[in-house]
Each structure stands twice: as structure tokens, then as C-alpha cells.
Amino acid sequence: MAGAHPPTPSREREGEQRTDWTREEIAALFDLPFTDLVLRAAQTHAAHHATGEVQLCTLLSIKTGGCPEDCGYCNQSASAETDLKATKLMDVRAVLQSAAQARDAGSQRFCMGAAWRNPKDRDMPAIIEMVKGVRQMGLETCMTLGMLEPHQAQQLADAGLDYYNHNIDTAPEKYGDIITTRTFQDRLDTLENVREAGINVCCGGIVGMGETRSDRVGFIHALATLPRHPESVPVNALIPIKGTVLGNMLADTPLAKIDDIEFVRTVAVARITMPMSMVRLSAGRESMSDATQALCFMAGANSIFTGDKLLTSGNAGDDADAALFAKLGLRPMQGEEPMRQEKTCC
């Protein structure tokens, strides 16, 4: 019938923790009229999360550059032709000082990232000290260190790590266009090791890498059909850095920035398909207008990275975020995330 909307999933099932989403169902969500999609995402969000609250997180690069992976978006890759200088692992005391500053600035969660393919066992004692020290400050802890072996995941769990971040980046069928030094299955193996150790999963990806909507459907489908939804789903907008494969390819082209409405659609579909996950508005936010960010919050995003830097890229900054929160009537989140509450009580 001409003008009819595509079929959509049953509303009775949308709010459930479903892991049986089909690509057709997810594509139908993407195809909804924009206002209908955002309204549905807002309703899903309100059913599972405190409205008007956004979690503040800080991300620190504890080991920068020199990574042997060839991720096409990343200026920390050794193959990227940028001016970024590789560094050694930060001193534990310096990391804890940064964490204390983040806590005093209002962050609830402190994330630490190292540009490694995988951590060496010799690095683990310092990493464990960082986790324990940050937790003692009352902050949530998150690490992203590349691929993990089961025994390393268990060491982090024993230290009390709250979250481990390991993004799938994009759809399985698009993955090989972005990275060749490890497979999509390698990503899933690390996620499984993290889950087996009892650590919460932080897993999302990047949009705006020249992918199609079908790729974005595949990306959300891969996350929403994991055996358990990630407790945290970061949605990044590509920052096309010159000297990286994608930065050189997309710079100064219409593909260099994803359409704002399409980005909000991606956030909304992530919220509907993974209703209890924290959907994190991550990299690329500094280039978004206040209106675009407001739409993302309406569509179910409820976490941001604050501060002036996100690993090696610029970020909006604490003052800009405070002004935005005041304008939108938002407040920093204080309580625990729904999936972690569920895990604790059940």
C-alpha cells in the first residue's frame, strides 16, 4: 500500500531485554518517521532510566600511540602519518591524580585507555594498581587495553574493574574495510573473556566512516543480539584526522561528517533495541550543535565524556557541558546503571 509505514516490532516486546532482533526489525526502526522514532526511544528510555539525568565520565589515555593495529580511524596506529608521539605507560600516581581531578569535577566514572593490541603480562601489576586506586576514590572504573586473554580478564576482575571497553566498531560485513590486523571474531572473543570473568561490558562503535544505513543496521544488530546486551554502548561520530586512512579518504568530502539526523536515528535505535544499556554519546560531540545533542538525549543517550580531551582528540570541555546541562535542565547522574542494579539484585 502506497505511503504505508514499514512493519515495526511489537511494542509489547520492545521494552524487553531481547537478543533475538532481526535485521529487518532494526531496519524498520531506522525507517520510521523521525519524530515517531525519537518518541518511541524516549518512551523506552523513561521506562528504564531516570529522565533528566546524564552520567558524566572522563577518559584518560594512559599509554598513547605506537599501536601495531591498523584501525583506519585511529591516529594512535603506528601506521598513521600524524605528529602524535608514542609514550610509555603512565605512572600510577599520575593516573590517580587525574582520576581525583575528574572526581572533583563531577565525573562518576573514570575510563583509562592504552594504545595496545593487547596488554603484556608485565604491564598488568601497574594496571591493577590503577584500577584499585581509582575504585578507592569512589569512582566507577573502566579500562580499554585491546584484546584480553582469559587470565588477564580474571586479573582485572579480581582487582574490581567495573567495565571493560572493547568496541566492535562497525557491522561485521564492513569491519574488514576498517581494520585488517584483527578480525571481528577476535573482538567477540575478548568480549566473551570479559563476560566470563564477570566484568561489565562496554561495547559500541563509530558511525560516519563512509558506511551505509545497512551497515548501521548491521552494527546495531551485532550488539543487540549478543548473549547479553552490553551494559554500556558508546556511539561515536568519526573525527576524520588527517594522516589516518579514513581521515585522508574522507577529509573535505560530504562523507566526512555523518548527517546529524542519521546520527540521532542511530542513538534512538540503540536505545530501543538495548533498553537498559547506558547509551554513551562519545567522540565527535564537540562538533555537534546544542540542538543535535539535545535530540540525542531525547532519543535515549544518557552518558557523555566530559573534559577537554578524549584520549588524543578535543572534547567539549567541562564549562561547555555545564552550560548545556543548564540550558536543557539536565543534571549529572548519581545512582547506579539499571543493568548493574539488575545484576546485583538478581
Candidates 67, 109, 216, 271; catalytic one: 67
C-alpha cell at 195: 563476560
Candidates 57, 142, 203, 296; catalytic one: 142
Cα–Cα distance for residue pair 301/285, rounded to 1 Å: 12
Query: Active site includes 280?
Result: yes
Query: What string of DSSP letters covers 206-236?
Result: EE-SS--HHHHHHHHHHHHTSSS--SEEEEE
Candidates 40, 109, 202, 296; catalytic one: 202
Query: Active site includes 142?
Result: yes
Candidates 109, 182, 265, 280; catalytic one: 280
Cα–Cα distance for residue pair 143/109, rounded to 1 Å: 11
Question: Are the C-beta atoms of residues 200 and 339 closer than 8 Å to each other?
Answer: yes
Query: Active site includes 345?
Result: no
Question: Are the C-beta atoms of residues 299 and 268 closer than 8 Å to each other?
Answer: yes
Residue 72's Cβ-count burial label (10 Å; 0-12, 13-18, 19+) is buried
Cα–Cα distance for residue pair 196/25, rounded to 1 Å: 30
Query: Active site includes 122?
Result: no
Residue 3 CB neighbour total at 10 angstroms = 4
Query: Active site includes 111?
Result: yes
Candidates 40, 57, 109, 111; catalytic one: 111
Candidates 71, 216, 265, 271; catalytic one: 71
DSSP 52: T
Place of cell 545512582: 335
Query: Active site includes 103?
Result: no
Cα–Cα distance for residue pair 103/86, rounded to 1 Å: 27
Query: Active site includes 203?
Result: no
Candidates 57, 74, 203, 296; catalytic one: 74
Cα–Cα distance for residue pair 41/264, rounded to 1 Å: 10
Residues designated catalytic: 67, 71, 74, 111, 142, 202, 280
